[in-house]
Structure 1
């Protein structure tokens, strides 16, 4: 039994693991797809190593800015990324796993939140937002493959 709330999203992407991992590790690419629909991003700091800080400002379509701060806990190229998201509102741990398969790479996102009443109410929203994130990533990967 755990006092954590889990949000799990997974999708198979039809690219190799290195390409999928690079979409996260390359800040130019990451800024193009991170976040749900309607968001744009500015990455201020991206110290991509255990103990490194990640600062990203996500701007909603209405102009509201969200200054996010995270700390990387684990980076295993091209297999796994773990970070702790500290602010602004949702404190959570994100585990991202990249698993090669015959027809592409499976991306698993596991988010762990404290099981507060507020977080439990947001669970469906967060899961849906993650799917939008995956849609944006898939669109970017398709664009990259067409540009080659």
Structure 2
């Protein structure tokens, strides 16, 4: 499946948007995604852990990983990076087997912090309807987990001064 085949129209009715303004810099937020060791700590809903098998962080690069649910279930994930603009934007296509969607992570300066937008556009309306309530909550948990990782890093930097 080509990356372009995953694209829904910009005005798609099957898009989920989550937004959070956090107290960390755009550079820190971007690093939290660009470094697989950090990303593995916070990606996914509460209680989930990740095993990364491949993480080629560049346009066209592959991100393949397994999410481990608290109940012991494993979820294989396969993604292809579409666009990356350092400290600004990360776009990837999440290709079956679990869900087919395009996700844009928009990173913008907001006062003394950073606004992070997760924009997920599902290929199929039926898939969107099936997961929308869960995904909205899970994305908020992602933000919580990202903030916790960035706080830990920030505290470690302060402690090393």
Output the TM-score relative to the length of structure 2: 0.87
Structure 2 unaligned regions, length at least 5: 1-8
Spell out the pairing of 1:32-51 with structure 2 (5 A cutoff). 32-51=41-60
1:12 aligns to what SS in structure 2?
Answer: strand
Q: How far apart are 1:33 and its partner, in Å?
A: 0.3
2:132 aligns to what SS in structure 1?
Answer: helix
Offset from partner CA, 1:90-134 (integer Å, 9 cap, x none): 100001110012221110110001343342132111111100111
Query: Would you tell me which structure has more strand in proportion to its own residues?
Result: 1
Q: How far apart are 1:78 and its partner, in Å?
A: 1.3
Contact 2:99 2:127 in 1 (8 A): no
Count of aligned positions? 148
Q: How far apart are 1:142 and its partner, in Å?
A: 1.2
Return structure 1 stretches of 4+ with deviation > 3 angstroms.
1-4
Contact 2:76 2:98 in 1 (8 A): no
1:69 aligns to what SS in structure 2?
Answer: strand
Q: Distance in 1 between matches of 2:148 and 2:115?
A: 16
The alignment yields a C-alpha RMSD, in angstroms, of 1.4
1:102 matched residue in structure 2: 111
Q: Choose which of 89, 106, 122 in structure 2 pairs with 1:80.
A: 89
Q: Distance in 1 between matches of 2:12 and 2:152?
A: 41
1:22 matched residue in structure 2: 31
Structure 1 unaligned regions, length at least 5: none
Contact 2:57 2:81 in 1 (8 A): yes
Q: Distance in 2 between matches of 1:62 and 1:82?
A: 30
Contact 1:3 1:114 in 2 (8 A): no
Contact 1:5 1:112 in 2 (8 A): yes
